[in-house]
Structure 1
Amino acid sequence: MTSTAPPPALAHSPAAASPPAVRLRGLTRHHRDVRALDGVDLDFLAGTFTAVMGPSGSGKSTLLQCAAGLDRPTAGRVEVGGTALEGLSERRLTLLRRDRIGFVFQSFNLLPSLTAAQNVALPLRLAGRRPSRTEVREALARVGLAGRERHRPGELSGGQQQRVAIARALITRPAVLFGDEPTGALDSTTSREVLDMLRELVDRDGQTIVMVTHDPVAAARADRVVFLVDGRVTAELRSPTVESVAARMTALETAGTRPTDGCRAPTDPTPAAPVPTRSGSC
């Protein structure tokens, strides 16, 4: 009797039994008299690409900052690679962010006086480690910038600068790469090139990516799209298309669920104690 071997698993569809790269439970964040996040429960599985969308002020950036350890939640639990963030001192949290978390911003945040290679090497140098030239060259080649090591940001296009920023975030081989509108400052052609590269990092290298975006085209490159309204998860799309993402966003924006100030006011009469934050927006 012959047996049939099971089909191989897709590179970007890890087994459900795999522990999540990031786990959020009951995540709540107050900004003064508003509730930017309201009891969010989410898992981001290793080796997957997740887009986070929602109307302006829905809590997307706050979610990203709390998940990446850049901001402390008012309540709830954040785990990165099985490590709970809420019990960490500022020093240990800084070390965890440095070693296990990559973050890419819309505005690139490159140092203009440094070359591409020097910008990429900066996180390791700040950690007291001298990276090898081969290590830096490989990081730049990984994002399609082989041969651009000596170029300064002013000598690179916007898309190339964002690639340098991504290489800098990946040089420490983080467990998860967070992106806050990473294609928001790029034209459509350059945006598509950066999205192709992010998709390849997931499919080829098993990188975990969580990206906030307003763009249905960008979100459609992800494995899953999570929608936030008033700090709560309202819907998810698996295997999204541009049309399905755009239709869901249109429905959310026309539903009239968002208050005029873009945030949900607390339902309890006693405001939470203030929590230090790096961002005053929600």
Structure 2
Amino acid sequence: MRFCSIASGSSGNCIYVGSECAHVLVDIGISGKKMEQGLNSLDLTGRDIDGILITHEHSDHIKGLGVIARKYGIPIYATGGTVDAMLRCGSLGKIPEGIFREIREDQAFEIKDLRINPFTIPHDAAQPVGYRLECGESSVGIATDLGKYNDYIIENLQNLDAILLEANHDIRMLQVGKYPYYLKQRILGDRGHLSNENAGRLLCRLLHDNMKAVFLGHLSRENNYEELAYETVCSEVTLGDNPYKSKDFKIQVAKRDFVSEAVTI
């Protein structure tokens, strides 16, 4: 398997996961042009993509979806609630007939040799999901836009080879920042976003000897910065109730505007 963040942040998200014969994108919250450039850096084009997995309908996850759907006719996999919400918002433009494939939480499906399991996430969207993708013995997970984590989410993210995990904000930066009160409450709430501290605590529950790569993603442009997210998560891991130190693992921040280093598993 190959795993790579094409873009990750509050302004736009797009993740690539592939095997020898299957290539999928998780979300297209960036322009079609930027997505194509990201794929080109992996020696791929939009024509190589076998499916697009959508986590939820917010614009930073679907901004470029309409353009790509019309250009390539790639099947779009999303929950029924997410499909309805995307169609209602009207920002996608005209979508080709029959392009949506409705999926359900906790019901695995396959795209060629990739086995994909969607799991429910607590976020203020219609019917949002995270994804666990497996090929043979290899597995990766994508978990962003989490207001909180629980045993169910931990269970879905166990024994991964690599993960992209949300580290959205620094709590103090958010609290003293310029956002209006209601927005601060939304982000801090149980259906908002994971703070750096909580990302580190969740990661402590997921680490194991064979974890090969950790990407910290979906950073807020206003309420976080790369070094702070990295240092906070690493500190939680090193000081946390687990047998590891942060330096035992390859932890890196997924870039907002650049393709991150691809991980081969």
TM-score (norm 1): 0.32
Higher relative contact order (CA 8 A, sep 6+): 1
**Structure label with greater radius of gyration:** 1
